[in-house]
Structure 1
């Protein structure tokens, strides 16, 4: 009996995965969701390093598909977002030049089919809700004004350096404080959610003998938000704003996609077009302030309705984003370091799944780490390899499908365009096989029905034995 008691005491004293020190780089969607998902699994020593001095969320609209809403609901941060979101019930895909409708897809049963709605919302609301939920978790510590520099050792624990600036909201500068200091940090698990420019990815791939440089896609995007008061004089515009519809106008190499957000007080529009304004810019530049005249010129042959919408944008408030990616990586994991979100699978926006994929990553990472049978680095590595195995095929499929859909949407005059438009017309009657893959019910089923948390839980034991 005494021996059994001693064994029980030893088991109780054994370190738990939840006690591990976890470092997360980047407080974007993926980083915030990773911290929150881990905290919900009982992790109590989570450190999130963010370059910015604080989190003031900006950005444009975002689509919130059922696969994303499912996770946000489980993490306890969906209700606040839903209060101002618009539920999508239909989509209209139109010819950019004539405004003629190519197809119309009704989506009234999404909530019933998948258990969660498809909505549109504001990026700031999504990020802000996740951040607010993180602030309620005592196991999460934010380190603002901290720039990740490099990993100096991968084993036995991850050692890394960050540069901390003296003046942050949490740590104001004093006369005795140096302007910057180098911090030498360690962690049992290091999760890099540092975006498409990820330093972690570059360093890890170099360590493994691979290249992982960012590449141009040849595409850029405008994002504009038009307040209700500017649209209410125009019945046609107001009908769009008051609808539950996503509208896409397509043309050769270009398109606009638009929908209402923020309780239908803002009309969000985002485009994709050839990259004409970044060619001479430094490679680190991803945004540029453009002119309204340039934007209108890019879409000069689009219909009057689109031009009336663009006309409402104030001069000086036109911003253009460079869309960049990198080739698929041979691995996302080395030792107990793993990449998350755009750091390992940046995507074009044509499926509206970029943020959703990062947050799915976060949920899966938390699932696998919480199931680690012990805290040995080799065990943690196996768990992270399960994360990679579960996620890599899905994200590769969606990245490729987004690129394919973009090429289809942007066809110029050709036989291929004629065939695409024939398929659009047929889908208007059948409600299936829509060339715009985001709106196609078969693609929606594949994306929206995916429950990454349940899948990981169901597969974990078998994969742990195999990997």
Structure 2
């Protein structure tokens, strides 16, 4: 039976200072009263690396809750005005989905785009401002259950540093997570998807030198532009107030098995899009390096938690990037985990180590139950998007293009075989209020626990 106790300050150790881990840290610190939070990052410094990233409405709702929308806009996040799908060979528009204000009306928040490094810096600054301790050059090498005075806690082992004791450990350590093996009890390396990406950014000045009308029109739009073709596609959109532009080229993986990245050849990269829209080929020529990134994922894990250790983001549900939801789902994970732990702390945590451990274990299982189905749907949805993006010319491609052409007449409110245009699917993906859902489920869980039930009674 859960009884009201004097407030026990829960100490959360977050392993990994990526977007999901920092969102978790901020959510934990913004509770009233805040949880104690230590973020451990293996890198000696956090650099503004990467390229563009999306903050779709479901994630924007979270960053709004964390009080960060204006900070992100100061860091040159902008509201995406539209999403344009084009035919590969001539750039003809297949469909142009209106976004902008419609995102607020339809889904409850904006769709933003920003440079990944700027996004991470805003989150890092907020975590520190809210009182999270962020330790760099802290390479976590293991977790052990505490004994004696540390009974009921976790001991986080750090290479060449003193261990840290925690009530809860969050594995936000990405695709190659070390904590995933601890949770599962066996290694679970990611699998190759058959795709790789070339990614890069370049300046407005580079594009202007072409003096090409079509390139100028494309670069002036605050739109995500996607060219669709057989077994490949290209994505282009502005960053940093249109002073920079992001380009991602998705093609078939030709790297040897086990090789994650490799320096490619510019001519080879461009040859993947030979015969495509001449405007796209001009844009591709702006890339001055051709680093290949193998795209990896794995099937949904059987479990995300072990005792008081929980995984989030790519450590538990990596996805292909074709819906712009990888970081968004990690942000949802982090915020919900912070909310559940905060509400548990405020409801009263037992002073007895064994009972406290049981409470925290159960609330982490609730977190897993709340998140698994939603992230499974997203991972499957990204695979479906990949299929429709990469159709070869033929009957299925013709049917896809016909359906896309009919969407504006329906005001984007009807069904579509392609989830990109399917209103019910988009509503469930982008309009779902994950925080309100977590609040409701926590209250129901707490009521059952106080009546002597168990977390296993949860019905979602």
When normalised by structure 2's length, the TM-score is 0.88
Q: Deviations over 1:235-259 (max 9, x none)?
A: 3222222212211101111001111
Going from structure 1 to structure 2, the CA distance change for 1:438 and 1:147 (only over 3 Å counts) comes to farther
1:118 to 104, 107, 111: 111
Q: Name the residue aligned to 1:6.
A: none
Kindly indicate whether residue 307 of structure 2 is the aligned counterpart of residue 335 of structure 1: yes
Distance (Å, rounded) in 2 between the aligned partners of 1:298 and 1:412: 14
Q: Name the residue aligned to 2:353.
A: none
State the Cα distance separating 1:38 from its structure 2 match. Answer: 0.4
Q: Deviations over 1:158-181 (max 9, x none)?
A: 123111xxxxxxxxxxxxxxxxx2
Going from structure 1 to structure 2, the CA distance change for 1:452 and 1:58 (only over 3 Å counts) comes to same
Pick which of 153-162 and 384-393 moved more: 153-162
Q: Please provide the CA RMSD for this pair.
A: 2.0
State the Cα distance separating 1:434 from its structure 2 match. Answer: 5.1
Distance (Å, rounded) in 1 between the aligned partners of 2:4 and 2:225: 58
Q: Name the residue aligned to 1:196.
A: 175
2:134 to 111, 119, 142: 142
State the Cα distance separating 1:406 from its structure 2 match. Answer: 0.5
Q: Name the residue aligned to 1:458.
A: 440
Q: Deviations over 1:367-420 (max 9, x none)?
A: 111121315010001111111111111111011011111012112234332322
State the Cα distance separating 1:94 from its structure 2 match. Answer: 1.0
State the Cα distance separating 1:73 from its structure 2 match. Answer: 1.4
Q: Name the residue aligned to 1:404.
A: 384
Q: Name the residue aligned to 1:426.
A: 406
Q: Name the residue aligned to 2:427.
A: 445
Kindly indicate whether residue 2 of structure 2 is the aligned counterpart of residue 20 of structure 1: no
User: Which structure would you say has the larger RCO, counting Cα contacts within 8 Å and 6 or more residues apart?
Assistant: 2
Contact residue 409 and residue 436 of structure 1 kept, 8 A: no
Q: Secondary structure at the match of 1:247?
A: strand
Q: Name the residue aligned to 1:97.
A: 89
Q: Name the residue aligned to 1:3.
A: none
Unaligned segments of structure 1, at least 5 residues: 1-9, 164-180
Distance (Å, rounded) in 2 between the aligned partners of 1:98 and 1:429: 24
Q: Deviations over 1:109-162 (max 9, x none)?
A: 222333321122111121111111112122x11111111111233762112311
Q: Secondary structure at the match of 1:146?
A: coil
Q: Name the residue aligned to 1:238.
A: 216
State the Cα distance separating 1:286 from its structure 2 match. Answer: 2.9
Kindly indicate whether residue 251 of structure 2 is the aligned counterpart of residue 273 of structure 1: yes
Distance (Å, rounded) in 1 between the aligned partners of 2:310 and 2:333: 10
Q: Name the residue aligned to 1:171.
A: none
Distance (Å, rounded) in 2 between the aligned partners of 1:294 and 1:183: 48
Unaligned segments of structure 2, at least 5 residues: 351-355, 449-453, 456-460
Contact residue 407 and residue 421 of structure 2 kept, 8 A: no
Contact residue 22 and residue 45 of structure 1 kept, 8 A: yes
State the Cα distance separating 1:436 from its structure 2 match. Answer: 5.2
Q: Name the residue aligned to 2:61.
A: 70
Q: Secondary structure at the match of 1:47?
A: strand
State the Cα distance separating 1:15 from its structure 2 match. Answer: 4.0
Distance (Å, rounded) in 1 between the aligned partners of 2:271 and 2:145: 51
Contact residue 86 and residue 228 of structure 2 kept, 8 A: yes
Q: Name the residue aligned to 2:265.
A: 291
Distance (Å, rounded) in 2 between the aligned partners of 1:262 and 1:434: 34
Contact residue 91 and residue 439 of structure 1 kept, 8 A: no
1:128 to 96, 111, 121: 121
Count how many residue pairs are aligned between Structure 1 and Structure 2. 428
Distance (Å, rounded) in 1 between the aligned partners of 2:249 and 2:427: 25
Distance (Å, rounded) in 2 between the aligned partners of 1:266 and 1:378: 50
State the Cα distance separating 1:211 from its structure 2 match. Answer: 5.4
Q: Name the residue aligned to 1:378.
A: 358
State the Cα distance separating 1:433 from its structure 2 match. Answer: 4.1
